Amino acid sequence: MPRALALALAASLALSLSAGGAALAAAPEPTKAAPAAFYSGRWYEIARLPNNNQRDCQGATSQFTGGAPGAFDVVQTCHRGSPTGPTKVFKTKGKVDNPERNKFTMTFFGLVKQQYFVLDTSEADGGWAIMATPGGNFVWLLARRPQLSETGKAQAVARLKALGYPVERLEYPAQAD
């Protein structure tokens, strides 16, 4: 890929991550270690705060695979319009910055780095996790299954609210069953 195109794509991604209005002054600091299993396997996106990069994204998943100790690869898949619509795929590399405090960084296009926090996890309902950017602008509710039970979803959304996120702004993308 020509360098100019790669830089344009990286700039576009950076702008999309910063657009959408601040949800919080900053994300809360993670307070407990996530299980090592967080960084492996498939996560389904259950809810998110809006962001330009995921506009009209349905059936979103993140497939984590291990690499060197503290490193992993992620294939993020989004379907445009419906869970079976045209596929958009991002391949990223990640590294755990601080395993005790649930901080990790992913690199997009080899150029753009973004840190993420794992704010909470639960084994209930097959497993769910809350992931956010440090600036508080973006948050995702992820689950190990394509659907959470209504009880599990209510518990996770209540946790998001307790963390200070505007749950009334959450989007709930469709997932294939």
List the domain range (segments joined by +) for residue 100. 3-169
- Is the residue at 18 inside a domain? yes
| % of the chain at pLDDT higher than 90 | 59
Confidence (pTM): 0.84
**pLDDT tens digits, one per residue of 71-95:** 999 999 999 999 999 999 989 999 9
For residue 23, what pLDDT is reported? Answer: 52
Establish if 112 belongs to a structural domain. yes
Number of separate domains in the chain? 1
Residue 110 has a pLDDT of 83
**CA–CA separation, 137 and 172 (whole Å):** 17
Residue 177 located in a structural domain: no
3-class DSSP state of 51 = coil
- In whole angstroms, give the CA distance from residue 21 to residue 18: 8
List, for residues 135-144, the tens digit of each pLDDT value. Answer: 888 999 999 9
